[in-house]
Structure 1
Amino acid sequence: MKLVTWNVNGIRACVRKGFLDFFHEIDADFFCLQETKVQAGQIELDLEDYYQYWNYAQRKGYSGTAIFTKHKPLRVSYGFQEGETEPEGRIITLEYPEFYLVNVYTPNSKRDLTRLEERLEWEDRIFDYLKELDAEKPVIYCGDLNVAHQEIDLKNDKTNHGNSGFTQEERDKMTRILANGFTDTLRYFYPERDDIFTWWSYMKTIRERNIGWRIDYFIVSSQLEKYLKNLEVYRYTLGSDHCPVCLEMNLEEN
């Protein structure tokens, strides 16, 4: 079973830059998108053999998530609870007999940290939500989580301490998740690698020199560790300021 997460920073622009070439080449069972930046009817993707689930933001050209999957779910939900208004389109959950798949675009706390308090409230809600799901069956949690967890998760950690995405408060929220029955799959495979990033500034030569941040994740219920096969970060796949991350598991074989 192959799963991909990618913040496309505008699906229409990404399609113009080769999204479909990568989509068909990778041939994933699940393809999770963040920051789609579209409303219903603004794009039609002819993806044979895939079910498509979109969560649109109310604000035009902003946020939004989507999942394309070969496997019809038992249930699809949007937001933290049934019937809740989710104006920024940040969560899609698919339920399957063996697991939940949760695709998330975590709010950015903003450069001046004016949204940090709201962000931390979000973190408390997502933690409670993941624990609630995990009590029923294992969870695969993925997306742009807008935090570099450790110093090795960004190139210039010393100059970024306290900045948006690398505040101690945001990092502590990630630590809490990982201390309560969840596994960061990249660190499962590469516990000490300090050169794996998933986002780079558009400033000239930044991506070429790999001066980046790792803020896109696959996090799984720790009981799924035995099913993990491989994780690959497609640093050289263009189309967005983020790159795709692909997780392979043998869960469907068990």
Structure 2
Amino acid sequence: MEHSVTPGQSGETVKILTYNLNGIRSALSKGLIDWLAQNPFDILCFQEVKATHDVVDLLPFEALGYKYHWHAAEKKGYSGVATFAKLPPDQVVMGCGIPAYDCEGRILRTDFGDLTLLNCYFPSGTTGDVRQGVKMQFLDDFFAYVQELRQTRPNVIVVGDYNIAHTTIDIHDPVRNKNTTGFLPEERAWMTRWFDSGFVDSFRYKNPDQIAYSWWSYRAGARANNKGWRIDYISVSEPYKDRLIAAGHEPQAVHSDHGPVWAEFTR
């Protein structure tokens, strides 16, 4: 079943980028626009924009053909997601209807024809037990939200920073990090449950044995030594997976402590 999305100039395909920018203004100062000009995508999904749209110079994005949809956190300089697309979506929904998450700007839904795209920034548990509890509750609530959404919108792509490395191939040191948030057994079990529920990990589906990371600590030369974690994903619901052409990472892009992740689909 085909859908009507025809963003950009890519003809018969749609290329989606997900990228945790760790501050959009910081990323722009590090050459993000020049990189995007050389690496065109139809849809850009940014996480951790850490700003409201009115304090960011968006003219360079407009010059590249993008229109933006923005879901900022209530707290200044924190969290927030933004989706830039070369074709206006049919519907935009800010949040998931759960105030605890919506006030933090974690989920932005855009519908293109019969495709629903969710741009998501999952909570991190790095600041202690309280936020780890928030993270685990989010995972349960988000799972239920998406399963209900799929009853009426079966073609779903869920992109973003999940803040979880799923398997041992997705982290440089699985033994030493076995009790570290982001690689805890209960988090990894949730990822398995997620993919067992009818989603495909687009990168792993196309690159079953490739070692690639999407985040590196700023400490101890982790990126230079490629001691990273794969915590950013493009999940594709089963009805849509046959349209997946290719998926990959762009670790050479250095606008953030994360790297861009992309997937390309037929339309």
CA offsets per residue over residues 137-167 of structure 1, 9 Å max, x none?
Answer: 3101000000001111000000000211011
Which of 236-245 and 111-120 deviates more?
111-120
Figure out how many residues of one structure are paired with residues of the other and give that number. 250
Name the counterpart of 2:10: none
Name the counterpart of 1:107: 123
CA distance in 2, matches of 1:29, 1:237: 18
CA distance in 2, matches of 1:26, 1:222: 28
Tell me if 1:159 matches 2:176. yes
Residues 247, 190 of structure 1: CA spacing in aligned structure 2 closer, same or farther, 3 A cutoff? same
Whichever residue aligns with residue 197 of structure 2, its letter is: N
TM-score for both structures, normalised by structure 1: 0.94
Name the counterpart of 2:105: 89
CA offsets per residue over residues 76-129 of structure 1, 9 Å max, x none?
Answer: 011113988721111100012221000000000125333222111101111112
Q: Shift of residue 181 of structure 1? A: 0.7
Asked if 2 retains the 8 angstrom alpha-carbon contact of 1:198 and 1:243, the reply is yes
CA distance in 1, matches of 2:184, 2:127: 11
Name the counterpart of 1:121: 137
Name the counterpart of 1:11: 24
Name the counterpart of 2:44: 31
Q: Shift of residue 133 of structure 1? A: 2.0
TM-score for both structures, normalised by structure 2: 0.90
Asked if 2 retains the 8 angstrom alpha-carbon contact of 1:111 and 1:164, the reply is no
CA distance in 1, matches of 2:20, 2:150: 25
CA distance in 1, matches of 2:181, 2:99: 31
Q: Shift of residue 203 of structure 1? A: 1.9
CA distance in 1, matches of 2:113, 2:255: 34
Name the counterpart of 1:2: 15
Give the SS at the match of 2:147: helix
Asked if 2 retains the 8 angstrom alpha-carbon contact of 1:108 and 1:115, the reply is yes
Whichever residue aligns with residue 219 of structure 2, its letter is: M
Asked if 2 retains the 8 angstrom alpha-carbon contact of 1:112 and 1:164, the reply is no
CA RMSD of aligned residues (A): 1.6
CA distance in 2, matches of 1:232, 1:28: 13
| Percentage of matched positions with identical amino acids | 36
- For structure 1, the 5+ residue unaligned runs are none
Tell me if 1:132 matches 2:145. no
CA distance in 1, matches of 2:259, 2:249: 7
Name the counterpart of 1:145: 162
CA offsets per residue over residues 154-188 of structure 1, 9 Å max, x none?
Answer: 00000000211011111111111100110001110
Whichever residue aligns with residue 120 of structure 1, its letter is: M
Q: Shift of residue 45 of structure 1? A: 0.9
Find the partner of 2:34 among 21, 45, 48: 21
CA offsets per residue over residues 46-78 of structure 1, 9 Å max, x none?
Answer: 123222011111111111100000121111011
Tell me if 1:189 matches 2:213. no
Q: Shift of residue 40 of structure 1? A: 3.8
Asked if 2 retains the 8 angstrom alpha-carbon contact of 1:232 and 1:246, the reply is yes
CA distance in 2, matches of 1:85, 1:17: 29
Tell me if 1:203 matches 2:216. no
Find the partner of 1:74 among 87, 90, 100: 90
CA distance in 2, matches of 1:222, 1:16: 38
CA distance in 2, matches of 1:115, 1:10: 21
